[in-house]
Amino acid sequence: MEQEQRRGSGGGKISGQLQAIFDKYRGQQGTLIPILQEAQNRYGYLPREVIGEIARTTDNPVSRIYGIVTFYSQFHLKPRGRNIIKVCQGTACHVRGGKKILNFIEDKLGIKPGDTTADLRYTLETVACIGACGLAPVLMVNDDTHGRLTTELLPWILDRYK
Amino acid sequence: MQFIRAHVLVCGGTGCMSSGSRQVQAGLEDEIARRGLDNEVKVVQTGCHGFCEMGPLMIIYPEGVFYVSVKAEDVPEIVETHLYKGRIIERLLYREPLSQKSIPSYDEINFYKKQRRIILSNCGHINPDEINEYIAAGGYEALGKALTLMTPAAVTEEVKKSGLRGRGGAGFPTGMKWQFARQSPGEKKYVVCNADEGDPGAFMDRSVLEGDPHRVIEGMIICGYAIGADEGYIYVRAEYPLAIKRLRTAIAQAEEMGFLGKDVFGSGFNFALHIKEGAGAFVCGEETALLQSIEGRRGMPRPRPPFPAVSGLWGKPTNINNVETFANIASIIVDGAEKYAEIGTEKSKGTKVFALTGKINNTGLAEVPMGITMREIIYDIGGGIVDGKKFKAVQIGGPSGGCLPEDMLDLTIDYDSLTAAGAMMGSGGLVVMDETTCMVDVAKFFLTFTQSESCGKCTPCREGTKRMLEILTRITNGEGREGDIALLEDLARGIKQTALCGLGQTAPNPVLSTLKYFRHEYEAHIKDHVCPAGACSNLTGYTITDDCRGCGMCKKVCPVGAIAGEIKERHVIKHKVCIKCGACEGKCPFKAIRKGA
Ligand SMILES: Cc1cc2nc3c(=O)[nH]c(=O)nc-3n(C[C@H](O)[C@H](O)[C@H](O)COP(=O)(O)O)c2cc1C
Ligand code: FES
């Protein structure tokens, strides 16, 4: 079994970790996106070798997988930080000053949306509504939602995520 | 037997959780246990009450006392004073913003008084993770009735008679859609629930899924029975982790109870339900794109026909409806189509949930009968504009919708009146804007959104929205040219007529509706190089703040005499005259002059 996986991928470690995911979805329809989602959960992003391995196992050309990965904003091809900050730029947040919140964080961390700080502590992203519009402006750090933001609150919030 | 004398309901919706309801609940449970009250008082976590502005929210039964903005520090007092001594804590009650009167119970609050809660009736009142609470509130009665007393054709007929129209945006009659799928030949059919809710500013689907997931599941099973499908998918945005978690629990419980699975209610009908997590693409809310995405491809729309009812998921007949549409089904089946159709207007029946956001006092979810006026929603339920500012516009329908000005506030809301006014029901997001919001900037905001979410498959949408955005950017930067408005209108018309899917066909709406009602703002940007709302930074002049001591330095230095004011009184800048040279800003010894309005 182990032998076989090695032969299949040329990179035994990755193959071993992905195997559980492949097993879970074997024999089902429409599993490519869930497989990519779970692989990303495991690695934090989708390294080249992982995409290659998924392509081989699911019998898809790499170009097709690449097409999917670049279509959906959830997938990432670059390593990401330990804490993902998603600043809402949806309508409700926009009219209540979401832009100011974003600019403040950009200045404070010295990065633009899509980038990661050099120490890999934060990745900054924008999102077009997280459904907590009643508390606009809103941001999410990892799975926590923070609402009714003011620029005074921000340093305190960011500081909590090491 | 243990006797529970009080129930404390703590809101566990996304809004209240981010305001700290988890800490409140944990603190409450500890404190109750510490005082040995845990076998007479029960703490229940509920879904969203819709009044997110005032969160975390708490209701204590049997009295039904409603506490707002509860903090973890308030917990000892709640246990001591309310649960132990039976006295209401005045300072935690909701105060009506206008009268400052404190109001002890839920139903007395203006925000709730004008609402008619059918879809949201359980939200905030039951524990969404407990199927028995849904059943106790009358849940799964409709499914039992449909499966044991009605034929699939009769179910479809009932939905048709109710006049229910799709809540996902376009308002297509739901019963007709079911009939198409029913009549499509094929052994295998699917039911799909569209829970992509990509429209920024809308969160009703999220709240229903988080607060009452079984209502949606029940609607889907009934649909499966009506059209002859044995399998269903719920496509949920990845941004809604709590909704996904609650749905998983709900599906597992429904399976255990036998509402999902084989031979439901002994009727021989089978139905299996799966969850698909989206991966972040607005266009996947469009039905054909959504189906592509479930199949594991790039979510790009395809031309219709064939409609999904004929060829949908994996080429099989598929019925796709929105979350709120499915949430309406149970009450139609239980109470009957006639009863349902009593609510609403001639062509739009039932209630609609609106998400009130923006510069409004009571942000949150409001479920109201169709046919209510915009004014009632914004002023009676929403409590008017924040900080007593002046109302300017309400944006309805998200990126596909439009902005309506003050003189349209008495418009009665239904699908057709909104479309006629140049807006759209859309998902029901209402974003209220005040005098400080620039309408050209709003149009640009939406176009930025649609342009970046365009999937790129058809040229009008891919290229056209880009060109429109360039023009709008130019205008908001103060580089607008003569003829820009005509060019925008021309492009808008072309894109509307030729784009492949709803995204492109409706993308120009925010521009067209702001041009229709706020054309003067565009003209002011282009001709006078002013942003009347003071929002576009390149076009805002200077203002003098309260720090002004009236020294008169600025007046002296101004080369064009644009500053007026008496010595020792606050000075003002005449924007029409000001050439924005900035000379005054540098001269002011009190730093009382700044850029922007
Ligand atoms: C760009 C675009 C985005 C859409 N997004 C959603 C959405 O988030 N949720 C939804 O229910 N319908 C959305 N729709 C509408 C769906 O295509 C479809 O009409 C709807 O799911 C049908 O359900 P209904 O008949 O119950 O309204 C969208 C349409 C377009 C063109
Ligand atoms: S617009 Fe920001 S949460 Fe909805």
Residue range(s) defining the domain that contains residue A136: 83-159
- pLDDT given for residue A10 in this prediction: 43
pLDDT confidence of residue A61? 96
CATH number of the structural domain spanning residue A130: 3.40.30.10
- The confidence score (pLDDT) of residue A1 equals 37
Q: What is the mean pLDDT of residues A12-35?
A: 86
Inter-residue contact B521 to B460 (CB < 8 Å): no
Within 10 angstroms of residue B3's Cβ, the number of other Cβ atoms is 6
Q: Tell me: pLDDT of B597 over 70.
A: no
Q: Residues A98, A148: one domain? A: yes
pTM over 0.80: yes
Query: Is the CB of residue B192 below 6 angstroms from any atom belonging to ligand 1?
Result: no
Round to whole Å and give the CA distance between B77 and B144. 45
Give the closest-approach CA distance of A74 to chain B in angstroms: 5
Judged against a pLDDT cut of 80, whether residue B524 lies above it is answered with yes
Question: Does residue A131 lie in a domain region?
Answer: yes
CB contact under 8 A, A134 and B203: yes
Spatial distance between the Cα atoms of B117 and B328, rounded to a whole number of angstroms: 11
Whether residue A68 has its Cβ less than 6 Å from ligand 2: no
pLDDT, tens digit (0-9, with 9 covering 90-100), for B1-25? 578 899 999 999 888 888 889 999 9
Tell me the pLDDT tens digit for each residue of B259-275.
999 999 999 999 999 99
- Residue A99, pLDDT > 80, answer yes
A94, A133, A148: residue with CB nearest B203: A133
User: Nearest chain A Cα to B240, which residue?
Assistant: A130
Report how many domains make up chain A: 2
Q: What whole-number distance in Å separates Cα of residue B545 and Cα of residue B532?
A: 18
Q: Which CATH class is domain B540-596?
A: alpha beta
pLDDT surpassing 70 at residue A8: no
* pLDDT band (50, 70, 90) for residue B571: very high
Residue to probe by mutation, ligand 1, list B177, B220, B322, most atoms within 8 Å of CB: B322
Which run of H or E residues covers position B180? helix B174-183
Q: Are residues A113 and A148 in the same domain?
A: yes
Q: What is the mean pLDDT of residues B406-427?
A: 92
Instruction: Tell me what pLDDT residue B100 has.
Output: 81
- Say yes or no to pLDDT of A11 above 80: no
Mean pLDDT of B522-544: 85
The pLDDT of residue B388: 85
Nearest Cα neighbor of B508 from B522, B520, B496 is: B496
**pLDDT band for position B580 (50/70/90)?**
confident
CB contact under 8 A, B15 and A33: no
**Which of B206, B279, B358 is facing A33, going by the closest CB pair?**
B279
Domain topology for B439-528: de novo design (two linked rop proteins) (1.20.1440)
pLDDT grade for A13, boundaries at 50, 70 and 90: low
On the 0-12 / 13-18 / 19+ scale of CB atoms within 10 A, B592 is buried
Assess: ipTM above 0.95.
Answer: no
Q: What is the CA(B357)–ligand 2 centre distance, in A?
A: 9
Query: Which CATH number does the domain housing residue A28 bear?
Result: 1.10.10
More confident residue, B213 or B109: B213
Architecture of the structural domain at B131-341: 3-Layer(aba) Sandwich (3.40)
The answer on A138 and A93 residing in a single domain is: yes
The confidence band for B163, taking pLDDT boundaries of 50, 70 and 90, is very high
Minimum distance, in Å, between the CA of residue B453 and any CA atom of chain A: 10
Average predicted confidence (pLDDT) for chain B: 93
The pLDDT of residue B488: 97
Statement to judge: residues A67 and A87 lie in one domain:
no
pLDDT at B319 over 70: yes
pLDDT tens readout for residues B100-155: 888 888 778 889 988 999 999 999 999 999 999 999 999 999 999 999 999 999 99
For B475-497, the pLDDT digits (tens) are: 999 899 999 999 999 999 999 99
In this structure, what token pair is assigned to residue B32? Answer: 């109750």
User: Ligand 1 centre from B426 Cα, in Å?
Assistant: 8
Residue with the bigger pLDDT between B70 and B597: it is: B70
Where a domain ends, among A71, A94, A116? A71
Is A120 among the domain residues? yes
pLDDT of residue B180: 97
Q: In this complex, do A135 and B296 lie within 8 Å of one another by their Cβ atoms?
A: no
* CATH topology (fold) of B6-109: Glutaredoxin (3.40.30)
| Together in a domain, A117 and A66 | no
Q: Is the CB of B397 under 6 A from ligand 1?
A: no
Looking at the structure, do residues A90 and A53 belong to the same domain, yes or no? no
> What mean pLDDT, rounded, does chain A reach?
88
CA distance B193 to B188: 17
Q: Based on the domain organization, do A65 and A41 belong to the same domain? A: yes
Q: Ligand 2: does its nearest atom lie under 6 Å from the Cβ of A130?
A: yes
**Range scoring the smallest mean pLDDT among A67-81, B258-272, B539-553:** B539-553
Is B321's C-beta closer than 6 angstroms to any atom of ligand 1?
yes
Count Cβ neighbours within 10 Å for each residue of B520-556 and write b for 16 or more, e otherwise. Answer: ebbebbbeeebbbbbbbeebbbbbbeeebebbebbbe
Residue A9 has pLDDT above 50, yes or no: no
